[in-house]
Amino acid sequence: MLAGQLALTIAAFFSGAAVYVLAAEQPARLALDNKALLTQWKPAYKRGAAMQASLALIGGVLGIAAWWLSGDWRWLAGAVALLLPWPYTLLVIKPTNDALLATDTANAGPESRRLVEKWGQLHVARAGLGVIATLLFLWAVAIA
């Protein structure tokens, strides 16, 4: 089923991007001084948010379509897992994002570093949801 295969592919892209941020980008960012750290975080966040939000939405819709066509609960569960980063980001991560975006890079200091560290810890849940969605979709493909 094409919808399911595409949902799996999109979920894998979402997960890969989220894990990359945690495993490579965030540690490299934290090695920078406070001003450079915030200067790097701001555009990276904006680009990453647009990409991951789009992937979550497209993959979620495809997962729902695969569930609708097959009746297999794994597609629906994966779609929910892939869509959950939206409310999680808006309700849990957004205050940290807003504080960081409102901080002038000239005023970057220990507080902005603490917020970027907190942001990285909060991002773990987004990556986890993406991995769960990918595994559920993979399971559904393997069963079909």
The per-residue pLDDT for range 30-52, each reduced to its tens digit, is 999 999 999 999 999 999 999 99
Region of 33 on the Ramachandran plot (φ > 0 left; ψ -120 to 50 alpha; else beta): beta
The boundaries of the domain holding residue 137 are 2-143
Kindly report the average pLDDT of the chain as a whole number. Answer: 97
Q: How many domains does the chain have?
A: 1
What is the identity of the amino acid at 53? Answer: A
Q: What is the pTM of this model?
A: 0.94
